[in-house]
Amino acid sequence: MKRKLAFIAVLVAAAGGLLFWFLTAPDRLGAATVLPQGDAVRGEAVFWAGGCASCHARPGAKGDARLELGGGRRLVTEFGTFVAPNISSDPAGGIGAWSPADFANALLRGISPDGRHYYPAFPYTSYARMTVGDTADLFAYMKTLPAVTEHAPDHELGFPFTFRRGIGLWKWLNLVPGSVVALGEGADEPLKRGRYLVEGPGHCGECHTPRDITGGLEYSQWLAGARAAEGDGKVPNITGGEGGISSWSAKDIAYYLESGFTPEFDSVGGAMVEVQENMAKLPAADRDAIAAYLKAVPERASSK
């Protein structure tokens, strides 16, 4: 009897291990995915919408130095300290040796060229909503930027977060590539464009939406504000609900993204400074589209 029970236990453990291995397997883009030829001119707008320089430029970089994407910025969280990698065009220190497919898999699936899961400190949960065309354009633009040779330091993490395979299970729970906000059939193209920019490359929800115990976004509280990833600060509610930006018009929002000035004549501060600087480089039509979307999202009271 004991032998039978031991045998059953081994079978259950083996089945559980196989299920875990299946659920956590890296899921690359299918072979049928067609990657168009990237356009660097279009890719520049994607670069600023995606905020690439805000994380991957050297800490404190200003002006043209923000285009030197050597990484090194530290993000201290309850899960450990994540360090932004070098994503410059250097083939050894950065991603210059990557293929367009490698780059698309990183953004859309959170998978490295050698088949490892990326940590979700890299906001691929939002980038997963991008089009393959935008990933190709962005990659084309990034190849025009300066090469930085040095490697960024490694992440500083403890067990179990050093076990990357487990991130596959996190993705299974939290990677939701579909749209967050459903728009009516009569939604116009600018509103759809705003949804794409906010939910996708702009990854606004990564900071402005609260997270659950796993670190995944609580989509029922979309953009209702959240605890800052670092320190004790609070990221504001940007819906029209209580504690949000109901008093702001769409023009107010668009002007804020362009100039950094609020309707109350206050100026942008904190982590939003770099975000606003990025948004100021977008076409005015894109800032208007973002504003239209933010006025259309469901109103939520500020999260606790």
- The structural domains of the chain, with segments of one domain joined by +, span 40-174, 189-296
Overall fold of domain 189-296: Cytochrome Bc1 Complex; Chain D, domain 2 (1.10.760)
Q: Which of 107, 96, 192 lies closest to 145 in space, CA to CA?
A: 96
As given in the structure block, the two tokens for residue 238 are: 């940007």
Give the pLDDT confidence score for residue 101 in this predicted structure.
Answer: 94
Per-residue confidence in pLDDT tens, the chain, 304 aa: 555 555 455 555 555 455 555 566 667 787 768 788 999 999 999 999 999 999 999 888 888 889 999 988 888 887 888 889 999 999 999 999 999 999 999 999 999 999 999 999 999 999 999 999 999 999 999 999 999 998 888 888 888 777 787 888 889 889 888 899 999 888 899 999 999 999 999 999 999 999 998 889 999 999 999 988 766 778 999 999 999 999 999 999 999 999 999 998 888 888 888 999 999 999 999 999 999 999 999 999 998 6
pTM, full prediction: 0.89
Chain-centroid distance of CA 115 in Å reads: 19
> Burial level of 17, CB count in 10 A (0-12/13-18/19+)?
exposed
Calculated CA dihedral for residues 282, 194, 230, 219, nearest 10 degrees: -170
As given in the structure block, the two tokens for residue 234 are: 């609070």
Calculated CA dihedral for residues 154, 158, 163, 168, nearest 10 degrees: -90
- Angle, CA 114 vertex, CA 148 and CA 229 arms, to 5°: 65
State the alpha helices, DSSP H only, in the chain. 2-23, 40-50, 52-56, 100-109, 124-127, 132-142, 167-174, 189-199, 205-208, 250-259, 272-279, 284-296
Give the pLDDT confidence score for residue 7 in this predicted structure.
Answer: 45
Among positive and negative, which fits the CA dihedral 118, 122, 126, 131? negative
